[in-house]
Amino acid sequence: MNGSYAVQNMLAHSALDLLPEEVLIVSRCGRVLAANRAARRSLPQLADASRQTLALADLCTQNELQLARWLHERARASNMAPGRLEFTGLGGRYTSVEVDAGGLNLPGLPELVVIRFRREAIFVRRILQLHKRIETLNTELTQTRNSTLRLRQLQRGLKSSNRRLRDLVSRDALTGLYNRRRFDSALVEYWLQAQRQQQPLAVVMIDIDAFKAFNDRHGHPAGDRCLKRVAQAIADTVRSEGDLAARYGGEEFVLLLPETRLHGAAYVAERVLAAVRQLAIPHGGLPGIAQVSISAGVAAGLPGQDAPANELLEAADAALYRAKRSGGNRVARATPTRSPAPAHPQHLRIPAVAKPPSHP
């Protein structure tokens, strides 16, 4: 089995194709041996099956000597490290991309370099651990088919590994919150559940105030640290079972709160605002803004049978826009999409962060 075929075979049976980030596996001499599905979509050169000897230099604007030195350093590194490559063919133009790259040493294969768009320090270790675990379970399943009890145990282990893999794919790499893809699917699930049970559902849209000015003043690394701290404050505040917190995109976050009315959702949003204020992250990007703050738009209601799932999301986004237009650092409520029918108090879930005030 030659090196290229072995690497492509490993990629085909690994979790790399499930990841939304582009991943390339390159030999130390610069030959592109394998690419996951996301990379093949982003780089049209990789989709041309007739090109069997594509080199990294064919994809990048850096000269071959620079790339050779960079690959030599990365192949000998034991950990992923950040770097920057300028690719051609991304949307038909030159695009500078931040990447993580590190050596990948597998038995029977030459020295390889894994290049991944964007950053996650433990990416290779996690993927290899999951890949090895799944391969081990599959091998053991083949060897013990005649043992029903052992077979069931292995199946449970495989399901557990797949659940961890799905959770990894559904998480935002920077903040650790759920990503946009997971939120979109959860919104439909929660909406249909609320329709069946005739229970209210709430959505809270959150945006960091003047975040572009913060990045311009302090730089993107500081912006990433700010996003992480705000995300952690959100996660620490929203702890009720069934509640979902996700990074919606850029500096925007979103909360899904099942069985929660408008006043309860607004109370949760106020708690998140207070938690971010307590971080006391210096801002200084614009006059009059001493520290980082957030704005939130809240919408809640009882889903109608024919209403679309994005109805609450649009209402919460409109409320967020009003909060931003009013100066930020505040919560704005949307008009309920539908007035819930009277219910016994035991059917109304109160957010776990604290008991809401009696007069919202």
Instruction: Give the rounded percent of residues in the chain with a pLDDT score beyond 70.
Output: 77
Question: Between 220-237 and 262-279, two packed helices, what is the crossing angle to 10 degrees?
Answer: 130
Sheet with strand 331-333: strands edge to edge? 244-249, 252-258, 201-208, 294-301, 331-333
Q: Which H/E stretch holds residue 249?
A: strand 244-249
Residue 1 pLDDT > 70: no
pLDDT at 235 over 50: yes
Q: List all residues 6 or more positions away from 278 whose beta carbon is below 8 Å from its beta carbon.
A: 233
Output the six-digit token pair for 119: 């950053």
- Give the CA distances from residue 253 to residues 1, 27, 297, in Å, rounded to whole numbers and listed in that order: 47, 39, 11
Higher pLDDT, 253 or 41: 253
Q: Could you tell me which residues come within 8 angstroms of residue 142 by beta carbon, excluding any fewer than 6 positions away?
A: none
| CA–CA dist 320, 299 (Å, integer) | 10
- Confidence (pLDDT) at 272: 97
pLDDT in tens, 112-129: 899 988 645 444 545 666
135 catalytic? Reply is: no
- At 247, the pLDDT band (50, 70, 90 cuts) reads very high
Average the pLDDT over 196-202 and give the result: 93
Residue 354 has pLDDT above 60, yes or no: no
- Does the pLDDT value for residue 2 go beyond 70? no
Checking if the pLDDT of 138 tops 90, the result is: no
Arithmetic mean of pLDDT over the chain: 81
Token pair listed for 323? 């909060």
Q: Which of 142-146, 199-203, 287-291 shows the highest mean pLDDT?
A: 199-203
pLDDT tens digits, 260-309: 999 999 999 999 999 999 999 999 889 889 999 999 999 999 988 778 88
Predicted local confidence at residue 149, as pLDDT: 67
CA atoms 133, 135, 139, 145: torsion sign: positive
Name residues whose C-beta falls within 8 Å of residue 273's C-beta, 6 or more positions apart in sequence: 293, 294, 296, 329, 330, 331
Q: Give me the percent of the chain exceeding a pLDDT of 90.
A: 40
Report the distance separating Cα 302 and Cα 110, nearest Å. 59
More confident residue, 276 or 342: 276
> What stretch of H or E contains 40?
helix 37-42
Segment 76-89 mean pLDDT:
82
Catalytic residue (choose from 251, 259, 270, 311): 251
The model carries a pTM of: 0.52
Distance of CA 328 to the CA centre of its chain: 26
Please report, to the nearest 10 degrees, the dihedral formed by the alpha carbons of residues 153, 157, 160, 161 taken in order: -160
Token match 């292995």: residue?
154
